[in-house]
Structure 1
């Protein structure tokens, strides 16, 4: 029986930019797209520790302070797959971006102004970030893929 997988992601902001990663692994669903740094939670690891670790591993940036801003449920009906991603933001961080996992991801600073038109960022992340930045509250999001259809995004 498949069960949902727990994941985290963390977006670090600095001045007028945010750090995202570009997936360079051809088999990734988000190949060559910009997405928040993140990944799976290790056994016995807190959500905050996982978010800090993933951000630092994939970008070189260290989050001094984290804020949990939302949850995204990624549901792929065709694969009977479900992942739950806890999304953190860091506005207080240190370090410069470094491509530590160059064979998998390349970190990039992306301007906040105009990100919603940046087609390198998947539409569901653009919509989620718009909600977070607009509401400045907790955002619950569901992204679903059905056979033969583009992903749908809903908020509750």
Structure 2
């Protein structure tokens, strides 16, 4: 890893049940919209362990057989920040869904209708890749001067 770079690592796990997915209707702080469960990776846990833990905390469900779908990252060269989000998909889960979660109300949503929901650009951009064969890598350079996304590179394998 490069010296002086601030690495921040998260996971996200899309849970699929037939033609539906589980999303959280998040309506607090500056990150509003429908999101899959996920969160920060705590050291020294693995990325998969973090995804399983975050899903349990946010939905009440226990997931297994996670399929790695790809990496989404933001880099801000002006601040030496690199935010990395490891993305997973699963169709295997047990447990009872929480009525409400600190991150938002969990809702089963038809996959075909999910793109109509309000979502952050980063989630909307990677959403279709969860349901395609292969993996993805999305690299976004943040333009600190204009406080917006700059160059976006998408690779699929």
- Cα distance in 1 between the residues matched to 2:140 and 2:77: 11
**Contact residue 99 and residue 105 of structure 1 kept, 8 A:** no
- Cα distance in 1 between the residues matched to 2:136 and 2:58: 24
- CA shift, 1:106, in A, is 2.4
**Contact residue 116 and residue 126 of structure 1 kept, 8 A:** yes
- Cα distance in 2 between the residues matched to 1:79 and 1:36: 28
Taking the TM superposition and a 5 Å limit, the aligned residue runs for 1:1-156 are 1-26=4-29, 28=30, 30-31=31-32, 33-76=33-76, 80-99=80-99, 101-102=101-102, 104-118=103-117, 120-134=118-132, 136-146=133-143, 147-148=145-146, 150-151=148-149, 153-156=152-155
- Greater strand fraction, Structure 1 or Structure 2: 2
Deviates more, 1:86-95 or 1:70-79: 70-79
- CA shift, 1:52, in A, is 0.4
1:39-94: CA deviation from partner (whole Å, max 9, x where unpaired) = 11112211111100001101112112111110100234676532101111111112
- Cα distance in 2 between the residues matched to 1:54 and 1:4: 19
- CA shift, 1:99, in A, is 4.5
The structure whose Rg is larger is 2
- Cα distance in 1 between the residues matched to 2:110 and 2:55: 18
| Contiguous gaps of at least 5 residues in structure 2 | none
| Contiguous gaps of at least 5 residues in structure 1 | none
Q: Over aligned residue pairs, what C-alpha RMSD do you find?
A: 2.2
Size of the aligned set, in residue pairs, is 150
- Cα distance in 2 between the residues matched to 1:76 and 1:17: 35
1:102-130: CA deviation from partner (whole Å, max 9, x where unpaired) = 3x432222210132333x12233222121
